[in-house]
Amino acid sequence: MHMIDQEPTNKKLTTKLIKENKENALELEAVNNRVSTQNDDNDILIAELIVSNEVNALELIVVNKKLVDTTDDSDKRAEELINAYRELKETDKKLAFQKEEKEKRAAELNLANKELAYQNEEKEKRSAELIIANKELIYQNKEKEKRAAELLIANNELAFQNEEKEKRASELLIANKELAFQNEEKEKRASELLIANKELAFQNEEKEKRAIELTKSKRLLEETGRLVKLGGWEYDIAKNEMSWSDVVYQIHEVEPDYHPSIESSFIFYVPESAPLIKKAMNQVIKDGKPFDLDLQLITAKGNGIWVRVLGHAYSANGEIVKIGGMFQDITERKESEELLVKMKKAITTSGEVIFLTDQEGIFTYINPAFTSLYGFTSDEIIGKNTPDILNSEIFNKTVYEDFWKTLLKGVEVRGELINKKKDGTLINIESSSTPILDEDNKIIGFLGIQRDITERKSAEKALNNSQQQLRNFAAHLQNIREEEKIAVAREIHDDLGQMLVALKIEIGLFNQKMKKGNSLKSNEIISEFDEISEMVDKTIKTTRRIMSGLRPEIIDSLGFIEAGKLYVNEFEERNDITCQFESEISELNINSQQAVALFRILQEALTNIVKHAKASAIKIHFSTQSDKFIMEISDNGIGFDENHKVRPDSYGMIGMKERVLLLDGELNISSKPGEGTCLRVEMPYLAKSKKHCAKS
């Protein structure tokens, strides 16, 4: 009965799920139709529909699994639904594939755009080169036209000359024919003259061509020379004449009417350069050996400059007849080279980290200090991005984004950073980043200068901690002073005051007995005086004990060694802890302040052992070594971990450290859990007495 009632319900549920599935399929189909125009929104809708379909399909599978045992029709419907789910999955895969294809197409379009931009840049460069080439071609064509015009004039003149020569030749030919019978030798001479004239005309034509080319080359050379400050010089050995080009005159800063000679040209050179040019000139005149020298000279106006002088020999018939060459002002180049060398040396030897990057923050140069600080070599760092290498990931991304925004505006950025070394160590950095601008004020890179301030930061932190500790210690000392005053007042009131009151009462009673005239026996009087004397002794002891607590007088009377020994004995009796006192010296020649400081350190160390060590035995050892006094206090207590941070309120330890600093000494504490603790104090000391071993 239950199965019969359940079947209609299952059919209704199945029909409802199928209907919902169809609706989802229709919605999916509608969404797919809008994919081409709504890329970003479709991705979200498709994802939502896929999730919805998966949920509905899973619900259908669950329901159909429950209906497996009910009817065969339900099985078929479940199978159909599963097939529908599979088809939906295939559709989803196709949609995902289409999405991937679109993303690939977008990436290809992006690459194509970059390639097109690159090709446009190349075309622009090629266009610029073609424009320059066209200008050069136009210039050459103009020169050719000029040359063609000159050649045309020369040809016309030559034609005229040839016509005249032909006329003359005809006349000569007639004359020769008439005189042939008289002189055959004259005919030969006429033929020779005709040949000579033709040869001469050809030579004249070649000379004219060469003169035109030389004029053009000279003009171009002079223009080039003015631009690069390059001139020429020549020395005729036979005539002993020196010639300079206009540029050489300008370099020497002499007047146009100046007449140079080989001797006067040497005067311009500085004493270091003059012997070099003289030697080079003598060698080229003698052996024809060319030279190329960088020399310093002083111009006619007193300006110091650098010049490059090149020289070589001209020979005729195997003999050197002239020497000449080029003369160039290279002052700017020398100054740039010198500045570059200085800058490179300064950057290389600088203790600060200096590096260069391009516009994208890619390393292009690092100095040796960079390698020393960060551990990266040049090969490991060049070509890498700055944040990828040095980012400690301590700061928020917005810090670096603001940094780059400011830097890209052309503004220098200074500040403190935390960077990461190659081994992962974090260090504090003081950084300065400056944009590098070209002639058009466009950013072409960045200069970074950094300084390791880790030690300074640690020192500042330690100083702040130390100042805080000192403030706390000062407050603690003030509290101790107040507590000591209260304790002294209490002792005076409770002990000394009561004793004095009792003594006063006793004396008063004795005085009353004496005034009444009662006959007192001598032994009673003596007994009364003994009691009074005993009370006086107790009062004196109490007074000394209070005074010793404020400042041990025994240090002044017996010295630190004996005072320390007596204090250790009292400590042993008072605390029931076995104490072993050893001293390799009998007397310590130090001033009162040093003795009190050592005594207070001894007191504080023993007090700490009682409070914290749970020790049953203590050893105190005094010695001298290498102009030092050494006090060692060790116990067999529970010890502690030396790596454990000292509590900020350990005022006893702070007090001991401060006292040791006043002694110009050192305080070292060694301990291990379960193995006790050893406190060692060292202070400068020049021994003035022989060593003596004292034990207690």
> Could you read off the pLDDT of 35-72 as tens digits, one per residue?
455 555 556 655 665 666 666 656 656 655 655 555 56
User: What's 428-481 look like in SS3?
Assistant: EEEEEEEEEECCCCCEEEEEEEEEECHHHHHHHHHHHHHHHHHHHHHHHHHHHH
Tell which phi-psi region holds residue 578, choosing left (phi > 0), alpha (psi between -120 and 50) or beta: beta
Q: Are residues 564 and 674 in the same domain?
A: yes
- Looking at residue 504, its pLDDT comes to 75
Position 214 in a domain:
no
User: In the predicted model, is pLDDT for residue 273 greater than 90?
Assistant: yes
Q: What is the pLDDT of residues 172-209, one digit of tens each?
A: 777 667 766 776 776 677 677 778 778 887 888 887 78
User: In the predicted model, is pLDDT for residue 243 greater than 80?
Assistant: yes
CATH number for the domain that contains residue 684: 3.30.565.10
At which of 452, 480, 500 does a domain end? Answer: 452
Q: Do 446 and 434 touch, CB atoms closer than 8 A?
A: yes
Question: Total domain count for the chain?
Answer: 5
- Looking at residue 280, its pLDDT comes to 93
Identify the CA nearest to 46 among candidates 59, 57, 34, 61: 34
Question: CB count, 10 Å around CB of 274?
Answer: 16
Q: Are residues 505 and 611 in the same domain?
A: no
Separation of alpha carbons 495 and 490, rounded Å: 8
Q: Are residues 542 and 556 in the same domain?
A: no
Position 379 in a domain:
yes
Instruction: Output 222 or 564, whichever has higher pLDDT.
Output: 564
From 28-32, 236-240, 589-593, 639-643, the region with the lowest mean pLDDT? 28-32
CATH number for the domain that contains residue 282: 3.30.450.20
User: In the predicted model, is pLDDT for residue 34 greater than 70?
Assistant: no
Position 261 in a domain:
yes
**DSSP-based helix, strand, coil % in the chain, nearest 5:** 60, 20, 20
User: In the predicted model, is pLDDT for residue 111 greater than 70?
Assistant: yes
Q: Are residues 106 and 149 in the same domain?
A: yes
649-659 mean pLDDT: 71
- Looking at residue 213, its pLDDT comes to 72
Q: Are residues 517 and 385 in the same domain?
A: no
- Looking at residue 391, its pLDDT comes to 75
User: In the predicted model, is pLDDT for residue 23 greater than 70?
Assistant: no
Q: Are residues 89 and 23 in the same domain?
A: yes
Q: What is the pLDDT of residues 485-522, one digit of tens each?
A: 666 666 666 666 677 777 777 777 777 777 765 566 66
- Looking at residue 620, its pLDDT comes to 94
Position 658 in a domain:
yes
Q: How far is CA 192 from the centre of its chain?
A: 89
Q: Are residues 13 and 145 in the same domain?
A: yes
Q: Are residues 173 and 26 in the same domain?
A: yes
Q: Are residues 291 and 358 in the same domain?
A: no
Position 346 in a domain:
no
Position 342 in a domain:
no
Position 222 in a domain:
no
Position 215 in a domain:
no
Q: What is the pLDDT of residues 519-556, one digit of tens each?
A: 666 677 777 777 777 777 777 777 766 666 555 666 77
Instruction: Output 172 or 374, whichever has higher pLDDT.
Output: 374
Q: Are residues 148 and 25 in the same domain?
A: yes
At which of 516, 550, 584 does a domain end? Answer: 550
CA dihedral 110, 115, 121, 122 (to 10 degrees): 180
The overall average pLDDT reported for the chain is 78
Q: Which of 138-142, 294-298, 404-408 has the highest mean pLDDT?
A: 294-298
95 lies in which domain range? 1-206
User: In the predicted model, is pLDDT for residue 226 greater than 60?
Assistant: no
At which of 421, 452, 483 does a domain end? Answer: 452
Q: Do 677 and 637 touch, CB atoms closer than 8 A?
A: yes
H-run or E-run covering 97: helix 72-179
Q: Are residues 256 and 160 in the same domain?
A: no
- Looking at residue 193, its pLDDT comes to 77
Model confidence, pTM: 0.37
User: In the predicted model, is pLDDT for residue 572 greater than 80?
Assistant: yes
Q: Are residues 297 and 367 in the same domain?
A: no
